[in-house]
Structures are given as C-alpha cells and as structure tokens.
Amino acid sequence: NILIKMLSGYKIKCRRLLLAFSPTLLSTINFLPSLSLTNNCPMIMGQCIKTVFIYSKPFWRNISINQTDQQGPCSNIFESNNPHALIGLILGDDAVFWSDKNEDELIQAIIKQYEILYNMNEIPMNTFVQYWTKENFSKGCYAAVYPPSSSSTWIDRRKALVDKRIWLASTEMALEWVGYIEGAIEAGQRFAQEISNSF
C-alpha cells in the first residue's frame, strides 16, 4: 500500500496514486523511501505574470500601433471584449524581474508601455496582476520545459513514475497538446485507464 500523509495530518491509504501536477513540483514532496535518481525531474517551470487592464472603452481598436520592439514589461498583448480590457503577459526573465518589484511600479510601467504603443494616455479603470511565479501549486506557467540536453533522462516519464504504482499526469506528460489544458486532460484520462488496467 501507499500511505499519503498531508501537512494537515490527514492520511490516505491507496494501492495506486495519480499525481495531477507539474513534474517540477515533485521536489516539494517527501517520498519515503526516496525516489531513485532517474526520477529527478530535469524540467524547469516557465515564468509568467498575467496582467489585465480594464478600460471604459476599447480605445486601441482604431489606432495605428507604434511599436517595432518591446518597449515595456509585456511581451504579448491582446484584448478581451467583456469587459474592454488589455491582457498583457510578462514572460521569462522579465517575469522573474518584475515579481520582485512593487506592484504599483509594474502597473505604471505597463501604463507607460501602452501609452507609447497606442499614442494614447488612457488610465485603466481597474487592474489585476496574477503572479504565476508565486503560486504554490504551480511555481510558474504555462508549463514546464526541458533545458538543453536533458530530455533523454525523462524520455520514459509518460509511463509509471515509481514501481508501476505512482503516475504523474500533467500537461507535460501528454502525448498531444503539451502545455494546454487538453494535454492535461489527455494525460489524466490515459493514466486513469492504465491504473484501472493494472489491477
């Protein structure tokens, strides 16, 4: 049997275990006995901050964009229609940098970026900032990736993780749609069927 002990003190016994999170979080679990070295995850989690700036009107739609390179924190910018909003994504090293800064400083930097981009000085009605880098149950997003020259060590991780008793189902373990919710669903369904077949 497998015995799972939660930090709350709650305990669960099972014969099979399906873990539904990124492989990068394996190091946050104490396994007794320890996982073999072949189960050490070489992947690193992507880093992203998602920002949503809500405006009274979609002023950007009829404006010529003034941009030839990135002129602020956001690498990707796109609109949402309900409400009128600009969604800006801050990625990679920029996300790590801005995660340590004051949020007001970040908001002002994005306002300045949009001012340069759209030649407009519009102030948002409201702003939301999601620091995926600080989330306990993901430590980043969108998905974990392999650093160079490391993928061969985890090439068989789409199979059972430990002794055919513990599986890891996440978008990173998918056979298709890796990095998307569809990939996580595919991996979860496939491993659930494998677990059912293993009894």
| Both tokens assigned to 142 | 């969108």
Q: Is the separation of the CB atoms in 171 and 178 below 8 Å?
A: yes
End-to-end CA distance of the chain: 13
Helix (H) or strand (E) holding 99: helix 92-99
Q: In the chain, where are the structural domains located?
A: 2-28+147-198, 48-134
- pTM score, whole prediction: 0.77
Distance CA 186, CA 183 (A): 5
Question: What phi and psi, each to the nearest 5 degrees, are found at residue 193?
Answer: -65, -40
* Fold observed for domain 48-134: Polyamine Oxidase; Chain A, domain 2 (3.90.660)
Question: What phi and psi, each to the nearest 5 degrees, are found at residue 11?
Answer: -125, 145
* Fold observed for domain 2-28+147-198: FAD/NAD(P)-binding domain (3.50.50)
Q: Which residues of 76-102 are buried (b: 16+ CB within 10 A; e: fewer)?
A: ebeeeeeebbbebbbbeebbeebbeee
Per CATH, 2-28+147-198 and 48-134 having the same topology is answered no
Distance CA 183, CA 177 (A): 4
Q: What is the CA radius of gyration of the chain?
A: 21
Task: State the burial class of residue 171 (Cβ atoms within 10 Å of its Cβ: 0-12, 13-18, 19+).
Answer: buried
Per-residue pLDDT of the chain (199 residues; tens, 9 = 90+): 899 999 999 999 999 999 998 888 888 899 998 887 777 777 888 899 999 999 999 988 887 776 656 789 999 999 987 789 999 999 999 999 999 999 999 999 999 999 988 888 889 999 999 999 888 888 888 888 777 766 666 666 666 677 778 988 888 888 899 889 999 999 999 999 989 998 8
